[in-house]
Copies of this chain bind each other. A is one copy, B any other.
Amino acid sequence: MHADTLLVRGTIVFTPDAGAFAVHPASYLVVRNGLVCGLFEQLPSEYAAASVVDYGARLIIPGFVDLHTHAAQFFQQGLGLDRPLLTWLERYTFPQEARLADPAYAKEAYEAFAAELLRQGTTRAAVYGSIHAETVRSLAEILTQKGIGAYVGKVNMDSRCPAGLREETAASLRETEALLADWPGGPFVKPILTPRFAPVCSRALLGGLGELAQRYQAPVQSHLAETREEAALVQALFPEFEEYHEVYDAFGLFGQTPTLMAHCLYLSDKAIARMRQQGVVAVHCPDSNLNLGSGVMPVRKLLSAGVPIGLGTDVGAGHTLSMRQAIIRAVQLSKLPQIVETSGAALSLAEAFYLATKGGGAFFGRVGSFEPGYSFDALVVEPERSGLSPVEALQQFIYADRAERIVARYVAGRKLQ
């Protein structure tokens, strides 16, 4: 048998598609070089002599994928969330991000962020750092050391932002390219271009980042249409474009390489069609949108339109790194159309779970499922009590929100400590 083969046994639950949970009680997953080779009810004879990690009645589920979160805001978790967006940014977020220039402070913040990410069962994340290239290196190293899979972005912003956080355009591009050329992360921690959002970026910065995306074939993350005010501001600042998304699109930052766009609340049908065409991923951050009173993503509409969607915690506008809470809130908010009497069916739990695993995982490649060829990114979960069906045990794990029920975590077949 291959030396890098891992055999695990337990109650295996995942969502190959968004329709329903696939449930395999007392089954085996064969993992080779970190990838799922197969799922079996009976262990094939070729593995008869191999040792099995037997989790008994415990659940084995895909690790959570958080597609939008700000490591630089972790220390402001939960602060000022009954304030409106602009007050919150000015009073909490910008001063907080300015402190990430300090390597010692950044190390402390990023160590705590990574530990909490792990504790909450997130195994892959798309993460924003701050504008500071040196501490973004530190963030990438810490995530690498913890064994979490991540895309890590150095934020770019050169316009209409506080003096301490406003970059000089050429320096911003130079430091970003230096990171791409000499990236500190391991094989599972990669760089991602991160123009904060159009209102704080000049055309020169956006154009330069689009060129870097092309040259280094680097992915891109940003924010799109989080609030009506922001959308109106972008129209005013970029009058040569009819719609917000066209600003990113014109500069090669909208699906020319793999792209994440957080929020996506106020989009035209034309914008939605372009997202689908370009494969741009819409990241649904329901707690953040509620906390800041931004609105509610039309998740059913985007799903129906075929736009790829994942979930994000968006700490600090979101208050928790728990992807279980993101799942709960996504289901809850999807019921609002029933309540306010518009239209659109609510999400099932399976749909929301799918969004939090395979839906978001697709951005990382074959991640977030247990089909052959998929990376073995997994959590092992102790059910709250016996006598529950596997889906019931999973529901309870999600809603009861007791992270301590996670007894093991794997990324790419490697068990994390």
Chain A residues close to B by CB (< 8 Å): 75, 77-82, 287, 290-291, 293-296, 319-320, 322, 328, 331-333, 335-336, 338-340, 346-349, 352, 384-385, 388, 392, 395-401
**Given contact pairs A75-B385, A293-B346, A295-B339, a sample of 7 additional A-B residue pairs in the complex whose CB atoms are under 8 Å apart:** A78-B395, A78-B397, A79-B388, A290-B333, A294-B339, A319-B399, A319-B400
B320, A77: Cβ atoms under 8 Å?
no
B320 touches A400 (CB 8 A): yes
How far apart sit A347 and B81, CA to CA, in the bound complex (Å)? 11
Cβ-defined contact, B399 with A347, below 8 A = no
Listed residue (A82, A294, A328, A331) with the most chain B CB atoms within 10 angstroms of its CB: A82
Whether A400 lies near B335 (C-beta < 8 A) is no
Q: When the two chains form their complex, are residues A320 and B78 in contact, meaning their CB atoms are under 8 A apart?
A: no
Given contacts A290-B335, A296-B339, contact A349 B385 (CB under 8 A): no
Assembled-state Cα–Cα distance A322/B290 (Å) = 19
- A322: chain B residues at CB < 8 Å are 401
Determine if A349 and B399 form an interchain contact, defined as CB atoms under 8 angstroms apart: no
* C-alpha spacing A111/B77, complex, angstroms: 33
Copies of this protein in the assembly total 2
Chain B nearest Cβ from A229, distance in angstroms: 12
**Most interface-central of A75, A78, A388 (chain B CB within 10 A):** A78
- Interchain CB contact (< 8 A) of A396 among B77, B291, B352: B77
- Whether B331 lies near A79 (C-beta < 8 A) is no
Bound complex: CA A160 to CA B408 (Å): 47
Known: A290-B335, A319-B328. A399 touches B77 (CB 8 A): yes
User: Does B396 lie within 8 Å of A79, measured CB to CB?
Assistant: yes
A331/B399 contact (C-beta < 8 A), A293-B346, A339-B296, A385-B75 known: no
Contact B78 A291 (CB under 8 A): no
Known interface pairs A79-B392, A81-B349; A332-B400 also in contact (CB < 8 Å): no
Given A75-B385, A400-B319, A290 contacting B81 (CB threshold 8 A): no
14 A-B residue contacts at CB 8 Å?
A75-B385, A78-B398, A80-B395, A81-B331, A81-B395, A81-B399, A82-B331, A291-B332, A293-B338, A293-B339, A294-B339, A320-B400, A320-B401, A336-B336
Cα–Cα distance between A278 and B296 once the two chains are bound (Å): 38
Q: Chain B residue with minimal CB distance to A291?
A: B332
Interfacial chain B residues near A294, Cβ < 8 Å: 339
Contacts of A291 in B (CB 8 A): 331-332
* Chain B residue at minimal CB-CB distance from A325: B401
A400 to B293, CA, bound (A): 19
Kindly list chain B residues whose C-beta atoms are within 8 Å of the C-beta of A388.
79
A82/B347 contact (C-beta < 8 A), A77-B399, A290-B335 known: yes
Contact between A77 and B348, CB atoms less than 8 A apart: no
Scoring A80, A336, A395, A399 by chain B CB atoms within 10 A of each residue's CB, the highest score goes to: A399
User: For A336, what are the chain B residues with a Cβ–Cβ distance below 8 Å?
Assistant: 336, 340
Tell me if B320 and A399 are in contact (CB < 8 A): yes
A75 cross-chain contacts in B, Cβ below 8 A: 385
The residues of B that contact A346 with a CB separation of less than 8 Å are 82, 293
Which residues of B sit under 8 angstroms from A78, Cβ to Cβ? 395-400
The 4 residue pairs across chains A and B that have the minimum distance between CB atoms: A78-B399, A319-B399, A293-B335, A290-B332
Interchain CA distance A339-B333 in the complex, whole Å: 12
Chain B residues in 8 Å Cβ range of A348: 82
User: Which residue in chain B gives the minimum CB-CB distance to A119?
Assistant: B402
Residue in B closest to A109 when the chains form the complex, CB atoms: B385
Least CB distance from A93 to B in Å reads: 14
